[in-house]
Each structure stands twice: as C-alpha cells, then as structure tokens.
C-alpha cells in the first residue's frame, strides 16, 4: 500500500513574513496617527518658522536644517512607532502568535525593520520635498533662501529621510531588547537626546569627536546642505547612523535567540 507524503499547506518564506509585518503595521490605528502627526508637524513647523522669519539671521544655521527643524519631533514620533512594532507586541501578547507562526524568530525582526524603514523613509522624503518649497516661498530674499537645485539641498532632504528611517530602525531594535514600551522609550530618549549633552560637558576633545557621531548630531550633519565647522561629512554621518541601527538590531537578534518569548 502506497503512503502519500503530506505536503505542508503553508510554508514560511521571507516574502510571506514581510507581507505579514506590512499588514500588521498598517492595521494599527497608532501607525496612522503617528504618521499623520509626523508629516503634519514637520510641514507645519517648517512653514510656520519660515513665515515668521524676518531675515535677521539665525547664527549661520544651514538652510535645509532651518526648514526641517520639525524633524526633531518626527524623529521621536517615528522612534515611538518603531518601539511599538516590537515592544508593543510584547505588551499585548501578540508576540507569542507571531513567533509560533515564524519559529526561527529572526526573519520577523528583519521583516519588521525592512517594513518600518521603507515606511519611514518614504513618508519623510515626501514630507521634506513638500515642506522645503512651501517654506522657501516665505524665505525669498532672505539669507535662508535656496532652491532644490542648489548644491547640497536635494542631498540634504534625501539624507534627512534616510537618517530618520535609520533612527526608527534603531528604536525598533531597542524595543525588541527592552520588551517594554516605557523602558524602550526612556532608553531611546536617554541615548539620543540626553547622553550626548552630558558627554559634551566633559573637557576632552576626544569626547567632542565622539559626540559628533551620536545619532542626533549625525542626523543634523546628514541634513545640512553644506557641512559646517565641527560637523562630520554626510558620508560619515550616514555610516554612523547605519552602525547605530545595525548595533541595535544585532542586540535585538541576540536577545531574541537567547530569551523565551
């Protein structure tokens, strides 16, 4: 009597894991709220600051950095979205179903990071490309006047979007390690916003050099159309942010493999 070999009706593939994470991200109300607020804040601050600018000078602040000051809030919003994508699943218990469906675990982390990076980069880029010309309509004739075709401007807008996406991925990794939304949010704020300011108080040149490669300063260098004194080059800033995101994901991968869900 011949024995039929049962073929699994469902096979886990990278494409299916990506589709699953994409679906989960977009079905959350918090995703829509966060993305709308991120775009709206960046646009409103860029246009509002530009409309109120009297042309008296801003201490040599780079034009792209000036227009995109709202991305300081965008970075935090996208970081919270990244933390919710990982730590949020632990708080709701959904992570158990996720890891049951994908027992190898790490494909889930890579898929979450890829989906979040794609969404954060796309949203930030289109927001920047809309904000900059609208803001410039109020800055004509001032020292902050610039056009998309000016040297470094378009690169700064794209670089800012890439930097925000990498910061969001870094936050996602922190969320996977902490497994707690409040704890991960505190760790992100402490690392990105507080620790660099504390280190700058130390009277050592090597500390100043190190702080330039911390996430917030690297994002500023990546956003600027023209490199200023005491800042890193855009390429170095991009590399620094990439390494921060990679280190965060590496820590998250190690945690996923060593801990039970």
**216 lies in a domain?**
yes
Q: Is residue 243 part of a domain?
A: yes
Residue 190 to residues 86, 126, 186, 215, 216, Cα–Cα distance (Å): 19, 29, 6, 11, 11
Domain contains 4: no
In a domain, 6, yes or no: no
* Residue-range definition of the domain harbouring residue 23: 14-52+59-258
Kindly report the length of the chain: 261
Q: What is the pLDDT along the chain (261 residues), one digit of tens a residue?
A: 444 444 445 677 878 888 888 888 888 888 899 999 999 999 999 999 999 988 776 557 899 999 999 888 899 999 999 999 999 888 887 878 877 787 788 888 999 999 999 999 999 999 999 999 999 999 988 888 899 999 999 999 999 999 999 999 999 999 999 999 999 999 999 999 898 888 878 777 677 778 888 999 999 999 999 887 777 899 999 999 999 999 999 999 999 888 766
Is residue 129 within 8 Å of residue 158, measured between CB atoms?
no
- Evaluate whether residue 147 is within a structural domain: yes
C-alpha to C-alpha distance for 78 and 172, rounded to whole angstroms? 10
In angstroms, the CA 228 to CA 61 distance is 9
The verdict on residue 46 lying in a domain is yes
Residue 249 domain flag:
yes
Domain total of the chain? 1
Q: How far apart are CA 25 and CA 47, in angstroms?
A: 30
Distance in Å from the first CA to the final CA of the chain:
43
In angstroms, the CA 144 to CA 45 distance is 15
**Phi-psi group of 59: left, alpha or beta (phi > 0 → left; psi -120 to 50 → alpha; rest → beta):** left
| Structural domain includes residue 2 | no
Asked if residues 54 and 143 have their Cβ atoms less than 8 Å apart, the reply is no
């Amino acid at each position: 009597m011949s024995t039929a070999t049962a073929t699994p009706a469902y096979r886990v593939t990278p494409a299916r894991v990506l589709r699953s994470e994409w679906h989960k991200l977009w079905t959350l109300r918090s995703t829509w709220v966060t993305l709308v607020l991120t775009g709206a804040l960046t646009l409103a601050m860029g246009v509002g600051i530009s409309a109120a600018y009297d042309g008296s000078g801003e201490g040599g602040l780079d034009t792209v950095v000036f227009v995109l000051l709202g991305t300081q809030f965008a970075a935090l919003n996208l970081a919270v979205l990244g933390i919710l994508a990982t730590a949020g699943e632990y708080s709701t218990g959904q992570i158990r179903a996720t890891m049951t469906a994908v027992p190898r675990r790490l494909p889930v982390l890579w898929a979450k990071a890829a989906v979040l990076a794609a969404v954060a980069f796309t949203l930030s880029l289109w927001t920047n490309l809309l904000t900059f010309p609208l803001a410039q309509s109020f800055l004509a004739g001032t020292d902050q006047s610039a056009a998309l075709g000016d040297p470094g401007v378009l690169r700064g807008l794209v670089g800012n979007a890439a930097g925000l996406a990498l910061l969001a991925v870094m936050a996602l990794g922190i969320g996977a390690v902490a497994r707690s939304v409040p704890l991960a949010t505190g760790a992100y704020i402490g690392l990105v916003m507080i620790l660099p300011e504390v280190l700058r108080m130390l009277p050592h040149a090597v500390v100043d050099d190190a702080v330039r490669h911390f996430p917030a300063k690297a994002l500023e260098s990546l956003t600027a159309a023209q490199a200023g004194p005491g800042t890193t080059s855009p390429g170095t800033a991009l590399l620094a942010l990439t390494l921060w995101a990679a280190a965060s994901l590496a820590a998250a991968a190690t945690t996923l493999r060593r801990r039970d869900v």
